[in-house]
A and B are shown apart, each in its own frame.
Chain A
């Protein structure tokens, strides 16, 4: 339940997951090493290693002996599916709580979502 100030290794794991989801870290490519992550995030190498291990345990990274960790084939789709599953709870629910607090009904929120989606679509 605690959302803020999460453990550093989780934040590091999440930053790698983000790179996989947005495609900047391609499948089958080499993931950053423990030491690279430690230097980049300015954390203890043990913390960085823990983040990598977590992703390996989830099957998102695969260890190749002597070379390092690589993004597993299918990791991106796996993460996208995982995030779709929690999208409603993580984003829609707080949205509706705030909407209710300030007196917006679901219809009004939907109209706003469509309006914004059009604006974002026009930009990209």
Chain B
């Protein structure tokens, strides 16, 4: 495999602490990635550094094998849709789209026109007068229509209603199917994008804690409900992430999948087994990762991460 993006040991230090603390991962060509993690985990910082809009303190980034810094050969092949994109004061949505169409050689005018209609985006209104959702629509249109080989969407859905988000997801799948490319999308609406993405990258506390396929992520954990005695037998040897009990019955979430024989025994004892969805898996594993590095995280730094 020949990755289109290679990130190694990326550190971004601020006086208040490290926003990135040794981030390494690869992005393969023609794959849609979900870039997930809590607020302040380092998602936007990582994307900004890859697209050369921010400097790393240390570490390396290679895009198509080259250093992206002031490198038009690779920067023109990437599109970064920022969550808080700023536009010049007097610009209208029409201007913003036109500017993007000039910058990206693969720009699709027809799809852009269709999306403007679908999102009911007012083209003549000044960008600063647009609502949060309309601003996001501008970003989504630019991200999709640029057809850049590598596209970064940073929380592209902010302010978009459920109908508009579905339009975005449907158009993304349709366009990606016709024009495969690499897409890295950060999102907190994990279950909403679970079907769209092939791989998940989860960042927490400035480090990558998960880098796997969606299937691997959703088959990593098991939820078992039933009589507690049978649950305890079943979970023996597995790392338990959550345990809830009510009388003599309970529910467990644990790492791994029990063997066929163990599952059989448990189910005869009245235990029901389920896989755990992507969003919940990530919540459990993020919490587990935080506990593993627990002593380093003081309550005050947690507050910082939440803001």
Contacts and interface: CB of A to CB of B under 8 A. Distances in A.
Interface string B236-280: 000000000000000000000110100110010000011111000
Closest 10 CB pairs of A and B: A1-B263, A35-B177, A5-B275, A43-B195, A4-B274, A45-B177, A2-B275, A44-B198, A46-B198, A7-B215
B264 A1 contact: yes
Contacts of B290: none
Nearest to A37: B177
A41 B177 CA distance: 13
A3 to B, nearest CB: 8
B32 interface: yes
A26 interface: no
A13 interface: no
B218 interface: yes
Contacts of B273: 1-3
B196 interface: yes
A98 B173 CA distance: 42
Interface in B181-235: 195-198, 215, 218-219, 222
Contacts of A38: 173, 177
29 contacts: A1-B260, A1-B263, A1-B273, A2-B222, A2-B273, A2-B274, A3-B273, A4-B275, A5-B274, A5-B275, A6-B275, A7-B215, A7-B218, A8-B195, A34-B177, A35-B174, A38-B173, A39-B170, A39-B174, A41-B195, A42-B170, A42-B195, A43-B173, A43-B195, A43-B196, A44-B176, A44-B197, A45-B173, A45-B176
Looking at chain B's contact residues, the main secondary structure is mixed
B27 to A, nearest CB: 15
Interface in A8-42: 8-9, 34-35, 38-39, 41-42
Contacts of A43: 173, 195-196
Interface string A40-56: 01111111000000000
Interface of A: 1-9, 34-35, 38-39, 41-47
A41 B174 CA distance: 11
B257 A2 contact: yes
Nearest to B268: A97
A90 to B, nearest CB: 14
A31 B198 CA distance: 23
A47 B274 contact: no
Contacts of A1: 258, 260, 263-264, 267, 273
B178 interface: yes
B170 to A, nearest CB: 7
B169 interface: yes
A4 B102 CA distance: 48
Contact of A39 (B173, B222, B257, B275): B173
A6 B218 CA distance: 9
A39 B196 CA distance: 10
Contacts of A5: 218, 274-277
A60 to B, nearest CB: 21
A41 to B, nearest CB: 7
Contacts of A42: 169-170, 173, 195-196
A54 B67 CA distance: 40
Given A1-B258, A42-B173, 14 more contacts: A2-B222, A3-B273, A6-B275, A7-B215, A7-B219, A35-B174, A38-B173, A39-B170, A39-B173, A39-B174, A42-B170, A45-B176, A45-B180, A47-B195
